[in-house]
Amino acid sequence: MKKFKTILVLAVVLMILSVTACANQENTPNETADIKTNLVMGYTTEPEGLDPHRTAAASTFTVTNNIYDTLVGVAPDWELIPRLAKDWTLSEDGMEITFDLRDDVSFHNGRKMTAKDVEYSFNRLKDAESPRARDYANIIKIEVLNDNTIKFITETLDVELLKNFAYPWAAVVPEEAQADLKTKPVGTGAFTLKEWVPQQHLTLQRNENYYSDKAKLETVKLVLIPDATSMMASFQLGDLDIVPLTGDQVTMVENKSEYKVISEPMNAVQIMSLNTKNPILANEKVRQAMAMAINKDEVIDASMFGYGDKIGSHLPPTSPDYFDTNDVIEYNPEKAKELLKEAGYENGFDVRLSLPKNYQLHVDAGQVIADQLSKIGINAKIEIIEWGTWLSDVYGAKNFDMTVVGHTGRLDAYAFLSRYKSTSNDYISLTTGEVDELLERALQELDGDKRKEIYKDIQVILAEKLPAIYLQTPRTMLALQKNVDGMQIFPLDYYDFKEVYFTE
């Protein structure tokens, strides 16, 4: 027995020495025992590639935002800020924008960046191979005025033009590297690609020649762990420094001294779209009755474990143009029954509720809604369908009565709200045309405050007319080890590691 204990103690010592040796191998010569400079984060979806002009996948931009730069950036509070461009000037008619570029920027291959690179990048972004070409079709001319000045000219007025230069796909790339950007990215960003082992991990390394303040971290290793339970277990063991959280996991880490939780509303909305070609759902009183029967707090509790924000219209509460319309239609099941009676449906009716199988958030919300509607006599028959079928039958063919789904957004409110044009070919619209003239005015209004008032009027109309029932903006949540600081959540779907650091 004594011999066994001796062997056991030796085994434990050897294991500790082994772990320490591995940790020391991960550390760089600049890393001390007290302050780490190598961060490890779990992520769930592999990048489609690392060429920002050849993908529409959010999983790609999570990574590429750290490798490439854009002319303009966006802060967590939605403010547009200088990045590769020091400043910019908009013409009086709003159809020309001129950027003054920094003169101290180099690509990762060592070559200095000039306006010619910006011109090349946007022509590449606009070509036939780019999934974002349509978004930049209004730019009809690009003029290089000198090495550090470039002008973009549009065919028609776009009052939100500047925001198009802040998206991560609008990155500046060098022409000589374009053939290999998918696996060998060359940008101007705060990090370079050190290693990418597909389906395992991807490591970023600090760009020591970065034009601005260098990143505080030396490396960022992103480890692919598709299973949320496995990822949380690795985080609790201390193998991961940051992980994305699902709502049911928050209780595992919140209010625990060894962890931090950061949470912000997504730039997204969850809605229950109503097909007004259905003669029952075409009745405004029916739609209002349904909205009154839905307790959004219960929906948020069931689908996001309470980590969501109620909405009354089709903008997230973080948008600068958001107007709170939650009180326009209030939860009131008894009044809902009265409205159904006035509409001629005192005994209720049957209706299909199509839910996308791949998105548990929407399935869970739909099931709660069906139960709530049953209490005022509406029988919502749930059909759970594959995402591909949802895209073809619901979104494409518009063969549905009701569906719960999410819409992620851009930086401008018009991109969210334009689907409600009466002429829209979208699966959701306001066919009676109440917002058409307001949307046209918003496109022409250069004054931001006046445009905000227009968007307010549109949101109120949507809250009253209810072409959809507006449910929530889910929250983005991250869990961090207590010694990780500087991590922020942005209105665009990406991570930015430049300001992240360890405190001890």
Phi, psi of 280 (to 5 degrees): -70, -45
pLDDT of 409: 78
Separation CA 343–CA 332 (nearest Å) = 17
Q: Are residues 150 and 299 in the same domain?
A: no
Range of the domain at 141: 68-174
Q: 27 lies in a domain?
A: no
pLDDT of amino acid 8: 37
- Average pLDDT, stretch 360-388? 96
Position of tokens 């692919």? 224
Read off the pLDDT of residues 415-425 as tens digits, 9 standing for 90 and up.
899 999 999 88
Residues 319 and 466 in one domain: yes
Within-domain flag for 164? yes
- Long-range CB contacts for residues 194-202, cutoff 8 Å, separation at least 24: 194/219, 196/50, 198/46, 199/46, 199/224, 200/224, 202/47, 202/63
pLDDT score, position 7 = 41
Which of 156, 174, 192 is the last residue before a domain boundary? 174
Q: What is the pLDDT of the chain when averaged over all its residues?
A: 92
Do 303 and 409 belong together in one domain?
yes
User: 207-229 pLDDT, tens per residue?
Assistant: 999 999 999 999 999 999 999 99
Confidence check: pLDDT of 22 > 70: no
Q: How confident is the model at residue 25 (pLDDT cuts 50, 70, 90)?
A: very low
**Assigned domain for 289 exists:** yes
Tell me, what's the pLDDT at 130? 95
Q: Residue 214 falls within a domain, yes or no?
A: no
Confidence of residue 247 (pLDDT cuts 50, 70, 90): confident
Q: Tell me how far apart the alpha carbons of residues 54 and 385 are, in angstroms, rounded to a whole number.
A: 29
Q: What is the pLDDT of residue 51?
A: 97
Q: How far is CA 399 from the centre of its chain?
A: 28
Confidence check: pLDDT of 201 > 50:
yes
Is residue 313 one of the residues assigned to a domain?
yes
pTM: predicted TM-score of the whole model, two decimal places: 0.84
Q: Which of 108-117, 164-173, 235-244, 429-438 has the lowest mean pLDDT?
A: 429-438
Is 24's pLDDT higher than 80?
A: no
Same domain, 338 and 463: yes
Question: Residue type at 470?
Answer: Y
Last residue of a domain, one of 131, 155, 174: 174
Residue 33 pLDDT level (bands cut at 50, 70, 90): low
Report d(CA 50, CA 187) in Å as an integer.
Answer: 10
Residue 128 has pLDDT above 60, yes or no: yes
Residue 229 lies in a domain: no
Q: What is the structure's pLDDT at 124? A: 98
What CA–CA distances, in Å, run from 186 to 18, 64, 99, 111?
A: 36, 10, 22, 11
| Secondary structure of 268-327 as H, E, C letters | EEEEEEECCCCCCCCCHHHHHHHHHHCCHHHHHHHHHCCCEEECCCCCCCCCCCCCCCCC
**315 neighbors 269 (Cβ within 8 angstroms):** yes
SS3 50: coil
| Res 91 pLDDT > 50 | yes
Same-domain pairing of 329 and 444: yes
Lowest mean pLDDT among 157-161, 308-312, 363-367: 157-161
Task: Please tell me the total count of domains within the chain.
Answer: 2
Question: Residue 399: its pLDDT value, please?
Answer: 95
CB atoms within 10 A of CB 141: 10
Q: Write down which residue in 141, 174, 207 finishes a domain.
A: 174
Task: Take residue 265 and report the two structure tokens written for it.
Answer: 């509303």
CATH of the domain at 384: 3.10.105.10
164 in the same domain as 276:
no
CATH number at residue 84: 3.90.76.10
Question: pLDDT confidence of 13, banded at 50, 70, 90?
Answer: very low
